[in-house]
Structure 1
Amino acid sequence: MGRGDLSDGQWAVLEPMLPVAVLGRPPLGRRRLIDGIRWRVRTGAPWRDLPSEYGPWQTVYGLFRRWQRDGTWPALLTRLQARTDEAGLITWEVNVDSTICRAHQHAAGARRDGQAQKEPPGGTRTEPEDHALGRSRGGFTTKIHLACEQRQRPLSLLVTAGQRGDSPQFTAVLEGIRVPRTGPGRPRVRPLRVRG
């Protein structure tokens, strides 16, 4: 197990939540592929620079995109949040903040029409018209707005163009909090306290 890879305990929680693969060849080892995806997201390196211990980069990227298009990633997050809330591990005192990320120079060449790209964005959410890229003092940037609870577990995430203000997005980030209950009942959407 490499630094940052899933522990046996984490894998025991995650594995039953994964979609069942029925068709095609047997999977290469989902744990290894998911660790590869996590490595790439954590480091920000190109897919082609993925260490060989995680398998062929094309296979890892293929799983990432397939699950992105069919909504598996948000569904996994929702299931994990529901499980965590059921165990009483979510502190409903929420912090909301944002940060700016500098966009790569190649982002400036993105097509205006996402569906005309070589590989359309896909996923369960629609791509913003501006691809969440905008101009600010720092140049070409994206802004990430996040609501998380006291133990640093994410509850809601919103990505906007870099020049967007924090205050107008505050309500949208709070409205994105939706933790379902494992039993009957409506999802939990209201924190006890909010810090911005």
Structure 2
Amino acid sequence: MKCNFWLSDEQFSLIEPHLPYRAAGKRRKDDRRIISGIIHVLQSGCRWQDCPPEYGPSTTVYNRYNRWSQKGIWQYMFAELTAALSGTPEQISIDASHVKAHRCAGGGKGGLLLRPSVAQKEVATPRFMP
């Protein structure tokens, strides 16, 4: 695939100091390759399983993205890079079109259905009539 995304040396040199240290256990795959794969998936909108093999196993690419998301590493990295660049908005602009929502996230037909909870129903209806 000729249109794969690869981080340049300059881009990776900005990111590298903010990467987490390797924890004990199995040695991590090449960070540059995996991060390039994550960016490729987010930019192209393809499924994680369809990530080109040049970036490494698709499960590794997904697991790295997911684990770092849960630990807040991406947020920390974006905050640090934004503070470091603090230049023109074009330099620090982050495209949010990669945010994916489940097809049910928009609600069903007719919009949001508001139903009172069981506790609210019990408070609203008396148990006996005087």
TM-score by length of 1: 0.46
Task: Judge conservation of contact 2:37–2:61 (CA < 8 Å) in 1.
Answer: yes
- Detail structure 1 runs of 4+ shifted over 4 Å in the superposition: 101-104
2:79 partner SS: helix
Q: How far 1:90 sits from its partner (Å)?
A: 3.3
Task: Supply the distance in 1 between the matched residues of 2:100 and 2:38 (Cα, whole angstroms).
Answer: 22
5 Å-filtered alignment, 1:1-196, equals 3-85=4-86, 89-90=87-88, 107-108=103-104, 131=105, 133-134=106-107
Task: Supply the distance in 2 between the matched residues of 1:48 and 1:14 (Cα, whole angstroms).
Answer: 25
Amino acid of the residue matched to residue 18 of structure 2?
A: M
Aligned length: 104
Gaps of 5+ in 1: 92-97, 109-130, 141-196
Q: How far 1:103 sits from its partner (Å)?
A: 6.1
1:5 partner SS: coil
Q: Kindly provide the CA deviation profile for residues 20-63 of structure 1, in whole angstroms up to 9, marking residues without a partner as x.
A: 11211111101000001001001111111110010000111000
Task: Judge conservation of contact 2:4–2:40 (CA < 8 Å) in 1.
Answer: no
Task: Judge conservation of contact 2:5–2:37 (CA < 8 Å) in 1.
Answer: no
Task: Supply the distance in 1 between the matched residues of 2:56 and 2:24 (Cα, whole angstroms).
Answer: 20
Q: How far 1:5 sits from its partner (Å)?
A: 1.5
- The structure in which a higher percent of residues are strand is 1
Greater C-alpha Rg: 2
Amino acid of the residue matched to residue 25 of structure 2?
A: G
Amino acid of the residue matched to residue 58 of structure 1?
A: T
Amino acid of the residue matched to residue 90 of structure 1?
A: T
Q: Kindly provide the CA deviation profile for residues 70-108 of structure 1, in whole angstroms up to 9, marking residues without a partner as x.
A: 1011111000011012xxx135xxxxxx99x9967xx23
Instruction: Give the root-mean-square deviation of aligned CA atoms.
Output: 3.1
Q: How far 1:2 sits from its partner (Å)?
A: 6.0
Gaps of 5+ in 2: 90-95, 112-130
TM-score by length of 2: 0.68
Sequence identity of aligned pairs in percent? 33
Counterpart for residue 162 of structure 1: none
2:74 partner SS: helix
- The structure in which a higher percent of residues are helix is 2
